[in-house]
Structure 1
């Protein structure tokens, strides 16, 4: 069932750019919780021995911090994706993190579910990344692309991470969003609907005891209008038997209504329903900017990723090649690649979407996803191609922060997004300015067999018949 209302007003939203900002903010909020409060975590991957303040000597691990909360009477619940092929964990230890985290949470007084309630006929995962903190009717939620796991902690300069913080990459760019108010209550409701599903989460696991606390009201605390967006596959969830594709619909509508520019940061950029809309936007004069990860990290699938990425970019470029601008990120002075994991879009300095969903069919149809669409009630002065216009504070502030990080420039230089396009690198692939690099799809590229395409980018349209 769709949420009621479809969007809420009076929220306070704050973008947290890169893992250090997110982890540090979350650590501080966890410390303030006490008896009777709640912590709900939904994750694709959570590493139990990851510290939220890794540079602070003696800082507890996430698992230990949650254990202390349980001892103080805080209800700790975690929903974790159950990886469907456990033997792979012996080859890639990252896939054992959720099992270890769940065991530690349970052993220390919390509750944890390894959730395999997904479609079995297509590859899919629980990809929602959210933390909800509740104290009486006051509720806040973190939503975005950042997993609470090893390798995600990094700072905006993307240099000098210790080896134990790097994971598989020297540097990692990502974004989360903190929201307070009625929208946070809807994020709490999303977790509770999944948690209270009486379907067995695994073959040998019983459903957990249901959450019985009443839905928080959420306090009026800001000026942002927020729509909570989800992807839920059809035919899986008793509380949403037809599924939900509000993430896809929100992206589509925003792209269709763009007048000046569309700025996307995304890990994938593969074929899906957004691509023809981006092509049409470029064709009508909208500047389309795509900042992507340079290459795919899953062993053995890089060439297929390159093929999907190339098809996608060629399709968008067909609208008007002069209006498509593609980049990836690299450390300054031609250092190592910065792995881009953020999933966000900013349109015309008026709307921003931040969440867990990638630009591909999986995130639009089969994986569980969660995102926030934000339009600010507070208008501020802006410029668009030399013309003054009112824009939304949140969207403009987010864009300026991201562009300043990527380009190493002050906000004043980047105030007009159309004129500031000249500050981005251009010309031959590999041309670099600060962190931003002109992107070219690397070789090799191979034909994608149907079964590989189905594995990497499945597309589900209708619910299964009962």
Structure 2
């Protein structure tokens, strides 16, 4: 498996949150939305958030760094836990997790799009390209050198796939958000106008999918490039998970029979690399038309996040478009805060009370209990509002061992209702950190390069920091 990780975000200047001109408490008050009270859980039950008035002034430096868990089995859901997350229905179409994956991490947008462009342009006769998307638009893959998209445009690249005899299938969300739908329709019409291949009749097809409740969305962002013959190392299927948010692109073990597309369950290991990957998903249990693959829904993504948080020994780093209240996730964070050194969150600024009042309130509900009790251990940052930068990332890094990246936001929709897909990673290649513990090589490298974006410091400076 070959995995590329994309983070489509440029964070050059950060400020401590809240970056607003008004006080959260002046709008919502501590009695209703502060550090105590009963909160509705994602599953409809209630949760009592931390109500102790004791404040810990520890900044984490009084705690000795602990050796984090390194075994993938300790971080990933078991087969039984996955089955439980699916209402008792086994997940027969996908392995519990895979080993031997080869992973490359990208934190810079143009590096990711260059990689996708190169991969799509190397497809051959009989290859298949499958894209699931929340939004598609006729934009160039390489706008810095081809701003009009004459060569690297969305349609032009997919037309090249078909011309070479490759099949292209795109599944897009039938968005009810009026501002986005015109882009989707133009992209659909353009892709469906591509002539069939003169080599083998291969074609490109773009269809809309409305198999969600009215207020939900198909939020998965996944691109799979499958070679027609995967007997050689260079012909392994490549999957990009996350696309415009965060991305994992993985080169898989050899697969003999491509047409059924059920190879994940029969080949779970290879020797391409040393990273282990678990795919987790959200599929609504209330929608009745997932009977082929999730008749009772799936919340493995939510369950995996809870398990990973509770494994934390030293730190948790969260970078997310929304860091809003999910009661169970808040409970899990509060459970580990006494023993970890630091919780760091980077999120989108929420300053417009007229357009974002709901998110401002939910952000406050999530932040206030942690900040009230652990004011020095908990650090939250946003971009400066006047810069107009959007944090669109969805990543979690724990102890420089566990990396979760994909389409799911830190909100209830992504944990329970919207269709989501994440790839969670534990690296078998390890390095020694400056504080004297063993950590995963790739997760640490990925975090350091993210911090380079945010701080302007060099890789070596950040790598030397305990």
TM-score, normalised with respect to structure 1: 0.71
The structure-2 alpha-carbon separation of the partners of 1:277 and 1:140, relative to structure 1 and needing over 3 Å to count, comes to same
Note if contact 1:8-1:226 (Cα within 8 Å) is conserved in structure 2: yes
* Deviation for aligned residue 1:416: 5.9
Q: Distance in 2 between matches of 1:62 and 1:310?
A: 39
Give the equivalent residue in structure 2 for 1:292: 347
Question: How many pairs align?
Answer: 351
Equivalent position SS for 1:339: coil
The structure-2 alpha-carbon separation of the partners of 1:379 and 1:59, relative to structure 1 and needing over 3 Å to count, comes to same
Which structure's relative contact order is higher, taking Cα pairs within 8 Å and 6+ residues apart? 2
Unaligned runs of 5+ in 2: 1-89, 195-202, 231-235
1:22 is aligned, of 94, 112, 116, to 112
Note if contact 1:294-1:337 (Cα within 8 Å) is conserved in structure 2: no
* Deviation for aligned residue 1:280: 2.2
Equivalent position SS for 1:227: strand
Aligned residue runs from structure 1 range 33-52, under 5 A:
33-47=123-137, 49-52=138-141
Give the equivalent residue in structure 1 for 2:241: 143
Give the equivalent residue in structure 1 for 2:10: none
Once the two structures are superposed, residues 393-441 of structure 1 have per-residue CA deviations (whole angstroms, 9 ceiling, x without a partner) of 1110111110111101122222366x4xxxxxxxxxxxxxxxxxxxxxx
Once the two structures are superposed, residues 357-388 of structure 1 have per-residue CA deviations (whole angstroms, 9 ceiling, x without a partner) of 011110000000011110001111213xxx31
RMSD over equivalenced CA pairs, Å: 2.4
Give the equivalent residue in structure 1 for 2:171: 79
Give the equivalent residue in structure 2 for 1:222: 273
Q: Distance in 2 between matches of 1:290 and 1:393?
A: 22
* Deviation for aligned residue 1:269: 0.9
Equivalent position SS for 1:228: strand
* Deviation for aligned residue 1:212: 4.6
* Deviation for aligned residue 1:300: 4.8
Q: Distance in 2 between matches of 1:12 and 1:179?
A: 6
Give the equivalent residue in structure 1 for 2:408: 357
Q: Distance in 2 between matches of 1:287 and 1:13?
A: 27
2:382 is aligned, of 324, 328, 338, to 328
Q: Distance in 2 between matches of 1:374 and 1:55?
A: 31
Give the equivalent residue in structure 1 for 2:248: 177
2:426 is aligned, of 375, 387, 393, to 375
* Deviation for aligned residue 1:284: 3.0
Note if contact 2:312-2:399 (Cα within 8 Å) is conserved in structure 1: yes
Aligned residue runs from structure 1 range 46-445, under 5 A:
46-47=136-137, 49-57=138-146, 58-84=150-176, 89=178, 92=179, 94-108=180-194, 109-120=203-214, 123-135=215-227, 136-137=229-230, 138-144=236-242, 146-147=243-244, 174-182=245-253, 212=260, 215=263, 217=267, 220-236=271-287, 237-238=290-291, 239-272=293-326, 273-295=328-350, 300-330=354-384, 336-383=387-434, 387-415=435-463, 419=466
Which structure would you say has the larger Rg?
2
Equivalent position SS for 1:309: helix
Q: Distance in 2 between matches of 1:380 and 1:313?
A: 33
Once the two structures are superposed, residues 334-363 of structure 1 have per-residue CA deviations (whole angstroms, 9 ceiling, x without a partner) of 961421100001100111001110111100
Unaligned runs of 5+ in 1: 148-173, 190-210, 420-466
The structure-2 alpha-carbon separation of the partners of 1:242 and 1:271, relative to structure 1 and needing over 3 Å to count, comes to same
* Deviation for aligned residue 1:255: 0.8
